[in-house]
Amino acid sequence: MLASIGLAIGFLAILTLLLAILLVFAERRILNYGPCTLDINDGKKSLTVTGGSSLLSSLAENDIFIPSACGGRGSCAYCKVQVLDGGGMVGPVEEPYLTPEDIKANVRLSCQVKVRRDITLAIPDELFLAKRFQGKLVHKRKLTYDMVELRIALNNPESIEFAAGQYIQLESQEYAGRDAVMRAYSISSIPSDNRHVEVIIRKVPEGICTTWVFDHLQEGQDVYLSGPFGDFKLSDSKAPAVFLAGGSGMAPIWSILRDMRERGDDREAIYFFSGRNQDDLFFTEELFALEKELPNFSYVPCLTREDPDSDWKGERGRIPAVLPKYIPDTTAYEAYLCGSSNLIDACVDAMKQRGLQEPNIFYDKFE
């Protein structure tokens, strides 16, 4: 009896061990791609990596951070890069995320491209500047009922170089059975304050990262972020600018406006901010104060659901309806929009009807 139990256990153990060893050995032999060379931007940078992992993680190991919000699962499509040679065929996971233009330009999801041979790729130059930072949360301040401001002191590296309007990716940590994720947040602090990063975060019900920020993240805690990313920034022209934002879309514009003040940029600028009622407004005094420091700037908060009997003296109504009163003809303007896609699409449509030119539209959609 005992002998037969022993035999059974021994047999199973040996069989599984044998198969496991066989598989490990096979993996080493079959899936060994050896060292591969990544040639980036026409020889500007050349890396030698061990083949077998994804392009995204191979680049990250070499401190080139491609934006990624889903952690390489192929569901966010942030990690697009141009793979000119050696990327292999487009896989079934990435296909739905690639537009016909992407396919023509050899754009791929870097998390789904496996490094199997030498690869030639092109990435925007600015991504070379992106780094991963370790910092400490120095304060978490409530701005409205559903909005907080985080101020993070950078430790390693100690300073960040960015243009007002760009964003970073904040890494949340695991909590209550929910995975660590990365989410994009626009920087609300100004570039000259380069030892700190500030962000403004709005609570998303059930959101993985925002719940972590609101309920778990505490002052003094270590935080990790990477960046800067994005091409949402003020152009070099002197064209009059119209800024439009709702909710946490305030963040990049708050940075851009204060950066303009610091650089003495006196271009004509008008800022429409959308909220439901007065509870949604923040930085209001500071923004009206900016009107005095920036000679050609004005701030127009617009409330859509404010109680008709309240003491509110500002604009009531949606931005597309209010805007023509201030700017009858938008032809000469540059537009900078930030916030939900609904808000952005509605405002872009309204302004295009009044002459706004397609190349002069810049936006960051938050959802």
Ligand X SMILES: Cc1cc2nc3c(=O)[nH]c(=O)nc-3n(C[C@H](O)[C@H](O)[C@H](O)COP(=O)(O)OP(=O)(O)OC[C@H]3O[C@@H](n4cnc5c(N)ncnc54)[C@H](O)[C@@H]3O)c2cc1C
- The whole-angstrom separation of Cα 200 and Cα 37 is 40
Choosing among ligand X, another protein, ligand FES, none, which partner's interface includes residue 27 (Cβ < 5 to 8 Å by kind)? another protein
- 7 near another protein, rule: CB under 8 A: yes
Q: Which stretch binds another protein (CB under 8 A): 22-30, 218-226, 254-262, 313-321?
A: 22-30
Ramachandran area for residue 74 (φ above 0: left; ψ -120 to 50: alpha; else beta): left
Structure tokens at 334: 């540059």
Number of residues that bind ligand FES (CB under 6 A): 12
Closest approach of Cβ 121 to another protein, in Å?
Answer: 18
The Cα-based distances of 178 to 70, 211, 228, 240 in angstroms read: 13, 10, 26, 45
In this complex, which beta carbon is closest to ligand X, that of residue 185 or of residue 330? Answer: 185
Cα–Cα distance between 169 and 162 in angstroms, integer? 13
Q: What is the nearest approach in angstroms of another protein to the Cβ of residue 90?
A: 8
Which of 42, 101, 125, 206 is in the footprint of ligand X by CB under 6 A? 206
Near ligand X by CB under 6 A: residue from 200, 242, 260, 319: 200
Interaction between residue 80 and ligand X (CB under 6 A)? no
Q: Which two tokens stand for residue 128?
A: 């070379």
For 12, the enclosing helix (H) or strand (E) is helix 2-30
Phi then psi dihedrals of residue 202, to 5 deg: -100, 140
- Residue 20, beta-bridge partner list: none
Query: Which has the closest alpha carbon to 216: 226, 224, 208, 205?
Result: 208
Distance CA(98)–CA(88), nearest Å, equals 15
Contact set for ligand FES, span 37-96 (CB under 6 A): 68-70, 72, 74-79
Per DSSP, what are the bridge partners of residue 271? 243, 299
| Tokens representing residue 244 in the block | 């439009």
Q: Is 97 in the site for ligand X (CB under 6 A)?
A: no
Minimum distance of another protein from residue 62's CB (angstroms): 24
Q: Does 26 bind another protein (CB under 8 A)?
A: yes
Q: Does 183 engage in binding with ligand X (CB under 6 A)?
A: yes
Q: What's the N-to-C CA distance of the chain in angstroms? A: 65
121 is an interface residue for ligand X by CB under 6 A: no
The residues that touch ligand X, with contacts defined as CB under 6 A, are 167, 181, 183-186, 199-202, 204, 206-210, 230, 248, 251, 364, 366-367
The residues that touch another protein, with contacts defined as CB under 8 A, are 4, 7-8, 11-12, 15-16, 19-20, 22-23, 26-27, 30-31, 88-89, 91-93, 116
The residues that touch ligand FES, with contacts defined as CB under 6 A, are 68-70, 72, 74-79, 109, 111
